């Protein structure tokens, strides 16, 4: 007989200085129409604004659903998420950034129903609806998103991409054999965790991609905002991802082909460093590039940089 009190899904909401957005995130989860129990784990990373106070308000109002974690110091996004996930009880788990929100009240039900009926899949994902600071829809993300099955080969070759935050997957944090691996992967960068977890999930099985955009990804990359894209330059972001893929390549003992990931991070980092006349940073991207891919990436650099310039021009015209 099934336990009526079983938690089917753990929803991890992490935040940092997101008082303007956190209510939308929490409400969008509370509005879910489901036939199972779920929990919400709120983990603010020691914000100096009112984010934690707002979370406290919801935790008091919904004590049977919400777990509130208090941080005495700033941990960084990856360790904040890791600790929150270690508190999870659900059969499945998913993450929501504090400045994003869900727009389909049946999101969890649809994703859980699929996983319950298709246990051979590790997870299920969907595209995100991108909205800018004026709440205007600017397209779905990732741009390369395709319906169907996603394999590790698809992801590494950049044929298919998926968003970790849009994914519901089997709760690996309840399985001791995965915990040490995840702890290491989450230690690779203080903020970046999506690349390594996207890869790790796909080493364990396929991910189903369905076409409906069931959440909003707020595109915030302007001055005054406190999110990662607003507080870091493109070159800094690409350097972080390059370091993560270098570590992943070593972790998996060069078993998988990360060429496309290296090509993208090195080219973007190099190009934007050149645009800003930061020659040392540009050279550093070339130095970090794995030897087996370096010559090919350098030879293709002029063509790829030209493509970046064209994209920037088109974006300005829009």
pLDDT band at 232; cut points 50, 70, 90: confident
For position 311, what pLDDT does the model report?
Answer: 73
Q: Does residue 1 surpass a pLDDT of 60?
A: no
User: Given a cut of 90, is residue 220 above it in pLDDT?
Assistant: no
Residue extent(s) of CATH 3.90.550.10 domains in the chain: 7-218
299 C-beta neighbours (distance < 10 Å), count? 9
Contact 267, 304 (CB under 8 A): yes
CA distance 143 to 136: 17
Over residues 130-153, mean pLDDT: 90
The three-state secondary structure class of 88 is: coil
pLDDT score of 151 more than 60: yes
Residue 315 is predicted with a pLDDT of 63
CA distance 44 to 69: 7
Please, what is the average pLDDT of the chain?
92
**What pLDDT is recorded for position 100?**
96
Confidence grade of residue 281 (pLDDT, cut at 50, 70, 90) = very high
Give yes or no for residue 66 having a pLDDT over 80: yes
Phi then psi dihedrals of residue 198, to 5 deg: -60, -45
Q: CATH number for the 7-218 domain, one of 3.40.220.10, 3.90.550.10, 1.20.1740.10, 3.30.70.520?
A: 3.90.550.10
Name, in order, each residue with C-beta under 8 angstroms of 301's C-beta and a sequence gap of 6 or more: 267, 270
**Mean of pLDDT values over 84-96:** 97
Q: Which position has the token pair 């004590």?
A: 63
Helix, strand or coil, per DSSP, at residue 95: strand
Predicted confidence (pLDDT) per residue in 32-48, tens digit: 999 999 999 999 999 99
Supply the pLDDT for residue 110.
98
- Per DSSP, the three-state class of 59 is helix
pLDDT at position 266 over 90: yes
Say how far apart CA 148 and CA 169 lie, in whole Å.
Answer: 16
More confident residue, 222 or 207: 207
What is the per-residue pLDDT for 115?
Answer: 98
How many beta carbons lie within 10 A of that of residue 297, not counting itself? Answer: 21
For the segment 229-242, the average pLDDT, to the nearest whole number, is 86
């Amino acid at each position: 007989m099934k336990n009526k009190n079983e938690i089917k899904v753990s929803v991890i909401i992490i935040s940092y200085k997101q008082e303007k957005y956190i209510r939308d995130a929490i409400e969008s989860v509370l509005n879910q129409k489901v036939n199972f129990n779920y929990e919400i784990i709120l983990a603010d990373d020691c914000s100096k604004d009112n984010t934690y106070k707002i979370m406290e308000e919801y935790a008091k109002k919904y004590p049977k659903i919400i777990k509130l974690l208090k941080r005495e110091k700033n941990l960084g996004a990856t360790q904040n998420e890791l600790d929150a996930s270690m508190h999870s009880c659900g059969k499945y788990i998913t993450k929501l950034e504090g400045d994003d929100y869900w727009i389909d009240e049946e999101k969890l039900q649809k994703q859980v129903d699929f996983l319950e009926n298709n246990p051979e899949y590790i997870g299920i994902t969907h595209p995100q609806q991108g909205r800018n600071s004026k709440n205007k829809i600017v397209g779905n993300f990732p741009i390369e998103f395709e319906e169907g099955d996603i394999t590790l080969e698809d992801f590494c070759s950049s044929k298919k991409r998926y968003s970790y935050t849009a994914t519901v997957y089997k709760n690996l944090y309840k399985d001791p054999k995965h915990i040490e691996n995840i702890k290491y992967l989450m230690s690779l960068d203080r903020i970046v965790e999506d690349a390594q977890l996207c890869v790790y999930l796909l080493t364990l099985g396929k991910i189903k991609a369905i076409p409906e955009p069931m959440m909003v990804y707020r595109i915030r990359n302007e001055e005054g905002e406190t999110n990662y894209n607003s507080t870091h330059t493109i070159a800094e972001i690409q350097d972080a991802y390059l370091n993560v893929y270098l570590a992943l390549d070593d972790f998996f003992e060069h078993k998988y082909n990360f060429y496309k990931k290296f090509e993208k991070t090195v080219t973007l980092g190099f190009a934007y460093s050149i645009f800003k006349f930061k020659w040392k940073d540009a050279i550093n991207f070339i130095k970090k590039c794995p030897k087996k891919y370096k010559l090919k990436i350098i030879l293709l650099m002029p063509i790829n940089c030209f493509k970046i310039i064209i994209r920037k021009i088109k974006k300005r015209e829009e």
